[in-house]
Amino acid sequence: MSAATLARLKITLDHVKPAVLRRVDVPFDIRLDRLHLIIQAAMGWTNSHLYELRAGDVGWSTPLPDVDWSSDFLDARKARLGDVLADIGTKKLVYLYDFGDGWEHTIKIERLADPEPGVLYPRLIEVSGRCPPEDCGGPWGYAELLDAIKDPTHERHADLPEWIGDDFDPAADEAEWLTAEVADLAKKWSRKPAGKRPKPR
């Protein structure tokens, strides 16, 4: 397996309907802090809350300044996807976003492959379902929100436009925007540092 090997990830947001699913190709040696950013971009989250990536009984996150998390998490900046999967002996990860709302995602490694020539990675290849709005109370709160959208007599129906806008459609997958967000990460991470300019003669 070469350093250029790709992993196809199937990312499912657990406990929500309609189903929210993404498939994304990422470098197999991606750092876990970057995998977090890929998941945020692919799902449509705003990266406004804490997160944890977990394999078995081991968890990783990005440390905050002046906060000692060493007893709770390992540093996601120092771990790579391929190494984690080999060390733990699994093909599945759990990604928890927003410890208050508790958005849990199941990440399955579907296959390993060689990259396509001329393609930048990560690359979002499938989008199904719209990401819930931030801070809506997790899967239970989102279910109530969808009920309120559908039912004009619901006590929260009149307040919804102020909170999530007039046009929130849980079936709209926003694939074009999400694909562009992931592509922006690929471009950003593929940039080579500018070399030193030659001295004039």
Q: What is the CATH number of the domain that holds 86?
A: 3.10.290.30
The pLDDT, as a whole number, for residue 194 is 54
Span 44-66, average pLDDT: 92
- The answer to whether residue 34 sits within a structural domain is yes
Helix %, strand %, coil % of the chain (to 5): 30, 25, 45
Beta-bridged to residue 105, according to DSSP, are: 13, 95
- The answer to whether residue 56 sits within a structural domain is yes
- The answer to whether residue 40 sits within a structural domain is yes
Tens of pLDDT, residues 103-156? 999 999 999 999 999 999 999 999 999 999 998 889 998 898 888 887 777 777
**Hey, is 61 helix, strand or coil?**
strand
> Which residues does 59 contact at the CB level (< 8 Å), separation at least 6?
52, 53, 72, 73, 74
| Alpha-carbon span 6 to 136, nearest angstrom | 34
State the pTM of this model: 0.88
Q: What is the CA radius of gyration of the chain?
A: 19
Tokens in use for 115?
Answer: 């990259």
How many structural domains does the chain have? Answer: 1
Residues spanned by the domain of 94: 6-132+172-190
Is the Cβ–Cβ distance between 43 and 23 less than 8 Å? no
- The answer to whether residue 21 sits within a structural domain is yes
The residue among 126, 109, 132, 146 whose CA lies nearest residue 44 is 132
Tens of pLDDT, residues 144-190? 888 888 777 777 766 766 667 667 788 787 999 999 999 999 999 99
- The answer to whether residue 23 sits within a structural domain is yes
Is the Cβ–Cβ distance between 97 and 42 less than 8 Å? no
